[in-house]
Structure 1
Amino acid sequence: MSTEKPLILVVDDEPDIRHLIRDILEDEAYRVTVASNGEEAREAFINHQPQLILLDIWMPDIDGISLLKEFKQQNSQISVIMMSGHGTIETAVEATRFGACDFIEKPLSMAKLLRGVEMALENRAKQVAQQMEQAVDPVGKSAKMVQLREQVEKIAGHDMPILLFGEGGTGKHCFAHYLHQMGNYANGKFIEFSPESFPLDSEKLVSLAQQNCVYINDIALLSDEAQTLLRHMLESGRLQQTQLICATQQSLEKAIQRGDFLEGLYYQLNTITLMLPPLREHVEDIPELVHFFVDQQTAQSGMPYRRFTVAAQNRLRNYNWPGNVTELKNVIQRMLLLGDEDDIDVEDIEAALQADPEPAADDIEGINLDLPLREAREQFERIYLLQKLQETNGNVGKAAKLAGMERTHLYRKLRSLGIDTKQL
């Protein structure tokens, strides 16, 4: 295993600051490359692929916030610390909104800078570990899981786009990594794009995608511009040397009917489709999943080992699991963390599965005013948006207009609040 220190890109138009930061970081054994303007920063980003960027906001050719957005579009996992001698709270908030992990004011405190660098790299290492965790083979010996793995083995070597469809928490990330592992570009990178991070520059997209696996999560939420670009790239054959995997938990046919998704893009993507079953349809895999998550959490997170009794596992098998495998994993984590005994029994499971009833869509009195503001606001948003969806018979596009929101923003908000429009 390599013990080489991470590479850090320092972007600042002031030579004294740029060289001072480089010298200090090199004294700490980090590898450092520098850039004096936006153009040099772009070249260094592509050629050197740094793990962390220290980015000045005010530069002569381009501002740091614009560069931050560019870098995050090309690599959503890159860590960026912003620096500024004339920053404001609004600037710091904007930088954070676009993905900066820290904001440091000038004149620089070198102690604070080094702490920020260490924390950013530690967080990045955790993200990498989580990605590796997602890359494990799908767990389960049920007929549905065996059939899915057989399908993956048959299709992974083809260059046609692959569409993963399933409810939230069914394991789309896991199967995307499994497809990459079994595919023609297993030695290449696994590059994940969200609707927010999808690059809108065709040349950048091609350079990132070549000989790699590109995974687009929640493809139904791509902007109109991103959909148009992706359709053009597929029609022109510019993504031929790429394994393209897209995932959705929404019906793309219904999205087309609502005018939210391009029909031409759908036909480009709908060549190979894998349907991931909800956990309630293969509950016989739950004991194996329990053992897997217990071993994983005790090994990776240092949680104490606790045994789930047969009665506890049987209760888990008889739960509906609206959040699917992800919900099961979260319950197991909570049990390992909060349990006091060596064994976790059925009574512990019952307590963990109990949840407060959802407030009705028009029940404004359902808001608990004793909650902190953020949680109370989430309750209000849930009630408000459920009401708008009821008024529009579940039409998200019309609900977005009533709420004064962009459609993609509303989709993300509904997802964050756990509102499934298919259940309405």
Structure 2
Amino acid sequence: MITEKPLILVVDDEPDIRELIKDILEDENYRVVTAEDGQQARQQFSQITPQLVLLDIWMPDVDGISLLKEFKEQRASVTILMMSGHGTIETAVEATRLGASDFIEKPLSMAKLLRAVEQALENQAKQSALQHEQAITPVGKSASINLLREQAERVAGHGMPILLIGEGGTGKHCFARYLHRLGNYANGRFIELSPESFPLDSLKLTSLAQSNCVFINDVGLLSDEAQSLLSHLLESGQMNSCQLICANEHSLERAILHGEFAEGLLYQLNSITLNLPALRDHVEDIPELVHFFVDLQTTQAGLPYRRFTVAAQNRLRNYPWPGNVLELKNIIQRLLLLEETDDIDVEQIDAALQENSTIAAQEDGKINFDLPLREAREQFERLYLLHKLQETDGNVGKAAKLAGMERTHLYRKMRSLGIDIKQS
């Protein structure tokens, strides 16, 4: 199979430079689209979904740093190279902080430009490969997990949409990545959409979907307009060239009864439905999950290794796990990070579970209305941000986006409210 060269968007207000870069990149067989200002760049970015953007800093209508920030908020995975003839160290530092992969000075050295493009795309491919490796096979030997693995192997290669149903924290996102790895579009990108980020432009959605895996989380919360668009694209066959995986916490029949979901769309999505079990329904897998998460945190996150005693593991098996596998993962991470003993025993488990229960009770919205306004507001902000972090599996960048905040502002706010960033 011949792989198409990456699509590159070149944004520069100087026609000579813009066309020169376009010609050079096309000589190297890259696909290139250009934009002369911020308005055109925004339009092109939303319509063609480039894999790489070459972005000038100084333009008449909007600066490149602002565009960099916008593009990264819309699609965090996009690779962006900044260009400037009047850049400063401060500008380069700010661009890097906001997610730019490199900073190229003008006048451009074409050899340096090509090398920067190649390096940026190589790094992008490595990151994609790493994410591919992180598509973890479901851990456990219980009957329910064995069945889930068997079902995944059978259905991943079919062209029909796959619907995942499971409580929060059961691992729907990880399982979708696993299906992507097994599916016909394993070499394509894994594109995650939420009700907030779902594009209402059919061209943009079909461009995103082409030869990729599209994962729509919380599909039951899509707006009426989004549901109509998705239903139309499925009915017309415009989503046939992708792997479509949708996920929801509850049965969509319930949403239909409440008039919140289109019955016709359910019939289009539920031809293959996989149910992810709650952790309380396969507690026999907890010892294996503990070993897995300890290995994961010590090798990838660099946390110190600690051994969980048999008694500790037994205590974990006898806990109801309202937050499912995600709650177990967070408990293990916290114990590895904060404890000082080599062995984790029942006492440490009980203390961690008690702390978790306290946080969960706070997240239920139990605000003390007897507090002064300032303290009550802080309590609400803490509950709100903890909820956003739980929604995004602890991803601060995504939580900031959902909360409509700058990432740096969110970090400061978390510190001021006593939210442990390392644990979140």
The one-character-per-residue Cα deviations of 1:33-81 (angstroms, maximum 9, x if unpaired) are 9742233565578485117867779639x999899778865x4533789
Residue 113 of structure 1 corresponds to 91
Gaps of 5+ in 1: 1-5, 20-31, 84-105, 383-411, 414-424
Cα deviation for residue 279 of structure 1 reads 0.5
| Distance verdict in 2 for CA 1:221–1:14, change over 3 Å | farther
The one-character-per-residue Cα deviations of 1:119-170 (angstroms, maximum 9, x if unpaired) are 3258x98996984574111111111100000011111111111100000010
The one-character-per-residue Cα deviations of 1:328-377 (angstroms, maximum 9, x if unpaired) are 11111101110101111111111100032836878744769895954344
From 352, 362, 379, the equivalent of 1:375 is 379
Residue 262 of structure 2 corresponds to 262
Cα deviation for residue 209 of structure 1 reads 1.2
d(CA) in 1 for partners of 2:42 and 2:17?
16
3-state SS, counterpart of residue 305 of structure 1: coil
Q: Which amino acid aligns with 1:173?
A: H
| Distance verdict in 2 for CA 1:257–1:283, change over 3 Å | same
d(CA) in 2 for partners of 1:373 and 1:80?
38
3-state SS, counterpart of residue 117 of structure 1: helix
Gaps of 5+ in 2: 1-5, 20-31, 102-122, 387-401, 404-424
Residue 332 of structure 2 corresponds to 332
Q: Determine if the alignment matches structure 1 residue 174 to structure 2 residue 174.
A: yes
Residue 52 of structure 2 corresponds to 50
Residue 394 of structure 1 corresponds to none
Confirm or deny: 8 A CA contact 1:367 1:376 kept in the other structure: no
Larger mean CA deviation between 131-140 and 368-377 belongs to 368-377
Q: Which amino acid aligns with 1:246?
A: C
Confirm or deny: 8 A CA contact 1:217 1:246 kept in the other structure: yes
| Distance verdict in 2 for CA 1:353–1:129, change over 3 Å | farther
Confirm or deny: 8 A CA contact 1:304 1:337 kept in the other structure: yes
d(CA) in 1 for partners of 2:151 and 2:342?
40
3-state SS, counterpart of residue 354 of structure 1: helix
Residue 271 of structure 1 corresponds to 271
Residue 234 of structure 2 corresponds to 234
3-state SS, counterpart of residue 255 of structure 2: helix
| Distance verdict in 2 for CA 1:308–1:53, change over 3 Å | farther
- The TM-score normalised by the length of structure 2 is 0.68
The one-character-per-residue Cα deviations of 1:236-256 (angstroms, maximum 9, x if unpaired) are 111112111000003311211
| Distance verdict in 2 for CA 1:59–1:369, change over 3 Å | closer
| Distance verdict in 2 for CA 1:64–1:154, change over 3 Å | same
3-state SS, counterpart of residue 164 of structure 2: strand
Q: Which amino acid aligns with 2:160?
A: M
State how 1:96-245 maps to structure 2 within 5 Å.
110-119=88-97, 120-121=99-100, 131-132=131-132, 134-245=134-245
Q: Which amino acid aligns with 2:276?
A: L
| Distance verdict in 2 for CA 1:199–1:380, change over 3 Å | closer
3-state SS, counterpart of residue 52 of structure 2: coil
| Distance verdict in 2 for CA 1:130–1:108, change over 3 Å | farther
d(CA) in 2 for partners of 1:362 and 1:344?
31
Confirm or deny: 8 A CA contact 2:367 2:379 kept in the other structure: no
Confirm or deny: 8 A CA contact 1:162 1:272 kept in the other structure: yes
Q: Which amino acid aligns with 1:250?
A: H
Percent sequence identity is 56
| Distance verdict in 2 for CA 1:253–1:117, change over 3 Å | same
d(CA) in 2 for partners of 1:249 and 1:287?
25
Confirm or deny: 8 A CA contact 2:49 2:208 kept in the other structure: no
Cα deviation for residue 324 of structure 1 reads 0.6
| Distance verdict in 2 for CA 1:371–1:296, change over 3 Å | farther
| Distance verdict in 2 for CA 1:82–1:110, change over 3 Å | same
Residue 294 of structure 2 corresponds to 294
The one-character-per-residue Cα deviations of 1:300-321 (angstroms, maximum 9, x if unpaired) are 1111111111111111111111
Q: Which amino acid aligns with 1:217?
A: N
Residue 40 of structure 2 corresponds to 39
d(CA) in 2 for partners of 1:228 and 1:65?
33
Confirm or deny: 8 A CA contact 1:368 1:376 kept in the other structure: no
Cα deviation for residue 13 of structure 1 reads 3.8
Residue 406 of structure 1 corresponds to none
Number of aligned positions between the proteins: 346
Cα deviation for residue 181 of structure 1 reads 1.2
| Distance verdict in 2 for CA 1:343–1:34, change over 3 Å | farther
Confirm or deny: 8 A CA contact 2:142 2:282 kept in the other structure: yes
Confirm or deny: 8 A CA contact 2:368 2:376 kept in the other structure: no
- The TM-score normalised by the length of structure 1 is 0.68
| Distance verdict in 2 for CA 1:209–1:278, change over 3 Å | same
Cα deviation for residue 115 of structure 1 reads 1.5
d(CA) in 2 for partners of 1:108 and 1:33?
24
Residue 389 of structure 1 corresponds to none
Q: Which amino acid aligns with 2:211?
A: Q
Q: Which amino acid aligns with 2:257?
A: Q
Confirm or deny: 8 A CA contact 1:192 1:214 kept in the other structure: yes
d(CA) in 1 for partners of 2:260 and 2:65?
33
Q: Which amino acid aligns with 1:375?
A: Q
Confirm or deny: 8 A CA contact 2:188 2:211 kept in the other structure: yes
Q: Determine if the alignment matches structure 1 residue 316 to structure 2 residue 316.
A: yes
d(CA) in 1 for partners of 2:370 and 2:134?
37
Confirm or deny: 8 A CA contact 1:10 1:33 kept in the other structure: yes
Cα deviation for residue 113 of structure 1 reads 2.1
